[in-house]
């Protein structure tokens, strides 16, 4: 049968094409759609032999042509079902009107027919947001991957955020220009994670906004910049770039969490990056500066890794509070130049750092661990602070398992108000504590608190405090216990004073207390 005869047969027979989409329960719709119909000759008999079916989809001025399908109709009645792979038509079924054409062996048989309702089921995978210009995400759901783009040359009113492209006249598939707009366009119900890619440049605060982005989703939302040196999210308006206006930089509010990677957040009134009841908030290759609290984690799980800096903030570099779990892997976290604290841990929070912490030139303390919190630090470097370098207070537990370097400080390490400090080294280590002019105490234990200095088997600790009025001060029923230090471990210079009711236990060749009010001191 020639092509024209086939065409006549299909038209007369009214070959009914029906679309079908198949998916596993709870999964994504596959890219293959199924088209069923009948191929018969002019007499109504089924067509024999294989035939090539070609499909084209049309949406406005856009056309997509999936791969051809070769099939043999049923020998009894001519019925067939063609699997049409639409993987080459990403985002095509987005709720817009779509028509289709069908050709058999090169002959056009079906033209400009509207797609039925079944293929639009794939819109559940493709639907990302409301129409451009709307901030509504009501009833928007997707299980498909969502990648949105933010650029300085994007447009919040005309672009849909789905392409890493500048805004241009007549084009909607392009980047938006603010992070908040991208967040607003995210579906209410989404996949495991959605990514918001922020390009290089400085993104000032939109007029009327109180944050660069407020995020509250039941899935991870990742803010991915081009690098801390390249992408800046500012809390200031473009008209006054040095005047902070925003309350927050990036705020995960009762959210599932996500990642903040490769950005600088700067010039914010209150919080640079805040996680509040946020699960799994990961921060990497990111700098926060000139905020009040640089990074804040409240009842959240926060992980800092990969060159995180929080500096020159008017209060604190990193604040962890209220059942928070805060961790870092093998990367150094730098908290410097803050008006009060490098890191402030309160209210039963848990801080666990897998790499040394740098807390330099803060106006008050380097590490404050208080209110029944547990702080575990794999070494610390502190210089230039005006108060305690490391402080455990009000029932807290602070343990340091790596090297400690304190330079040009007023005070060293203290345990007070029923707290505990443990200094443990599993390597031959020298602790060098250097006080500035007028420096008071290198180690202090008071208020029913304890401090233990110990080494693992065969490892020697050498502790050299210089420039302090007291090398060790134990008072108010405090306990300093170095009995588990190796024999070769030493504490050299510095006055050691132990008041009545307190306890000083030596290990290695630690010196006798200069002034001792307890008979066990020597």
Q: Tens digit of pLDDT for each residue in 323-349?
A: 788 787 667 899 999 999 999 999 999
pLDDT band at 137 (very low <50, low <70, confident <90, very high): very low
Per the CB < 8 A criterion, the answer to whether 349 and 372 are in contact is: no
Kindly give, in sequence order, each residue whose CB lies less than 8 Å from that of residue 234, ignoring residues fewer than 6 positions away.
202, 203, 204, 205, 212, 241, 266, 267
What gap in Å lies between CA 396 and CA 404, rounded to an integer?
19
Is 19 inside any structural domain? Answer: yes
Q: What are phi and psi of 312, to 5 degrees?
A: 55, 35
CATH number at residue 37: 2.60.40
CA distance 179 to 187: 15
Beta bridge partners of 346: 321
Of residues 43 and 520, the one with the higher pLDDT is: 43
pLDDT at 4: 34
Last residue of a domain, one of 78, 96, 123: 123
Q: How far apart are CA 471 and CA 463, in angstroms?
A: 10
Q: Which of 87, 102, 123 is the last residue of a domain?
A: 123
pLDDT of res. 354: 83
Two tokens, residue 237: 């308006």
- Let me know if residue 394 belongs to a domain: yes
Q: Per-residue pLDDT averaged across 356-376, rounded?
A: 94
Name the β-bridge partners of 114.
99
Whether 74 maps to a domain, the answer reads yes
* DSSP character at residue 240: S
Q: Evaluate whether residue 494 is within a structural domain.
A: yes
Across the range 205-233, mean pLDDT stands at 94
In a domain, 512, yes or no: yes
Point out which residues pair with 33 in neighbouring strands: 21, 84
Q: Are 96 and 59 in contact (CB under 8 A)?
A: yes
The Cα 190–Cα 140 span in angstroms is 9
Which residue carries 């980047």 as its tokens?
A: 175
pLDDT of res. 424: 86
Each residue of 19-39: pLDDT tens digit?
655 544 445 556 788 888 888
Q: Which helix (H) or strand (E) holds 182?
A: helix 179-184
Count of the separate structural domains present in the chain: 2
Position 497 scores a pLDDT of 87
Rounded alpha-carbon distances, angstroms, from residue 270 to 178, 217, 277, 303, 322? 20, 22, 18, 21, 19
Paired tokens of 38: 């009948």
Closest Cα to residue 229, out of 253, 191, 258, 202?
202
Is 200's pLDDT higher than 90? yes
Is residue 488's pLDDT more than 80?
no
Task: Please say whether the beta carbons of 363 and 342 come within 8 A.
Answer: no
User: Please, which pLDDT band fits residue 490 given cuts at 50, 70 and 90?
Assistant: confident
Residue at 330 is within a domain: no
- Beta bridge partners, 288, equal 265, 310
The boundaries of the domain holding residue 412 are 379-522
Pairing of strands 441-445, 515-516: unpaired
SS3 content of the chain, % helix, strand, coil (to 5): 5, 45, 50
389, containing H or E segment: strand 388-393
Q: Residue 199 has which token pair?
A: 């390009």
Whether the predicted pLDDT of 521 surpasses 80: no
Is the pLDDT score of 7 beyond 60? no
**pLDDT for residue 234 is more than 50:** yes
Q: Looking at residue 518, what is its pLDDT?
A: 57
pLDDT of residue 114: 83
Identify the domain boundary among 67, 94, 123: 123
Residue 105: inside a domain: yes
Nearest to 453 by CA among 400, 410, 411: 400
Confidence tier at 119 by pLDDT (50, 70, 90): low
Q: pTM to 2 decimals?
A: 0.75
In a domain, 281, yes or no: no
């Amino acid at each position: 049968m020639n092509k024209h005869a086939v065409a006549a047969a299909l038209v007369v027979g009214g070959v009914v094409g029906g679309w079908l989409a198949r998916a596993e329960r709870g999964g994504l719709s596959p890219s293959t759609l199924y088209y069923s119909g009948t191929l018969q000759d002019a007499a109504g008999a089924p067509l024999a032999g294989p035939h090539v079916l070609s499909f084209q989809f049309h949406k406005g001025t856009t056309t997509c042509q999936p791969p051809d399908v070769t099939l043999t109709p049923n020998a009894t009645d001519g019925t067939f079902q063609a699997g049409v792979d639409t993987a080459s038509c990403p985002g095509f079924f987005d709720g817009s009107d779509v028509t289709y054409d069908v050709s058999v062996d090169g002959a056009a048989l079906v033209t400009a027919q509207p797609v039925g309702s079944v293929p639009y089921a794939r819109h559940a995978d493709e639907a990302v947001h409301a129409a451009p210009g709307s901030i509504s995400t009501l009833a928007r759901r997707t299980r498909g991957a969502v990648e949105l783009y933010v650029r300085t040359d994007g447009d919040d009113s005309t672009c849909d955020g789905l392409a890493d492209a500048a805004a241009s006249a007549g084009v909607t598939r392009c980047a938006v220009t603010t992070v908040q707009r991208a967040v607003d366009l995210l579906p209410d119900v989404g996949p495991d994670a959605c990514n918001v890619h922020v390009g290089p440049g400085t993104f000032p605060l939109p007029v009327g906004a109180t944050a660069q982005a407020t995020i509250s989703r039941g899935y991870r939302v990742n803010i991915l910049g081009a690098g801390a040196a390249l992408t800046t999210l500012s809390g200031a308006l473009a008209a006054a770039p040095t005047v902070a206006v925003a309350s927050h930089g990036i705020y995960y509010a009762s959210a599932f969490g996500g990642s903040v990677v490769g950005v600088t957040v700067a010039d914010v009134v209150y919080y640079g990056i805040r996680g509040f009841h946020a699960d799994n908030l990961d921060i990497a290759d990111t700098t926060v500066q000139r905020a009040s609290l640089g990074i804040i984690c409240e009842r959240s799980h926060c992980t800092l890794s990969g060159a995180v800096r929080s500096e020159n903030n008017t209060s604190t570099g990193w604040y962890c509070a209220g059942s928070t779990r805060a961790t870092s892997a093998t990367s150094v976290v730098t908290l410097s130049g803050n008006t009060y604290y490098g890191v402030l841990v309160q209210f039963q929070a848990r801080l666990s750092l897998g790499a040394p912490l740098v807390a330099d030139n803060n106006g008050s303390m380097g590490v404050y661990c208080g209110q029944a919190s547990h702080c575990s630090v794999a070494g610390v470097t502190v210089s230039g602070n005006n108060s305690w370098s490391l402080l455990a207070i009000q029932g807290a537990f602070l343990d340091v398992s790596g090297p400690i370097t304190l330079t040009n400080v007023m005070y060293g390490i203290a345990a007070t108000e029923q707290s505990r400090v443990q200094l443990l080294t599993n390597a031959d280590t020298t602790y060098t504590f250097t006080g500035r002019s007028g420096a008071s105490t290198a180690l202090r234990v008071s208020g029913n608190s304890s401090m233990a200095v110990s080494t693992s088997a065969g490892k020697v600790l050498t502790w050299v405090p210089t420039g302090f009025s007291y090398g060790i001060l134990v008072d108010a029923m405090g306990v300093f216990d170095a009995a588990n230090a190796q024999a070769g471990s030493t504490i050299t210079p510095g006055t050691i004073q132990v008041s009545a009711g307190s306890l000083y236990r030596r290990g290695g060749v630690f010196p006798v207390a200069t002034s001792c009010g307890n008979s066990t001191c020597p």
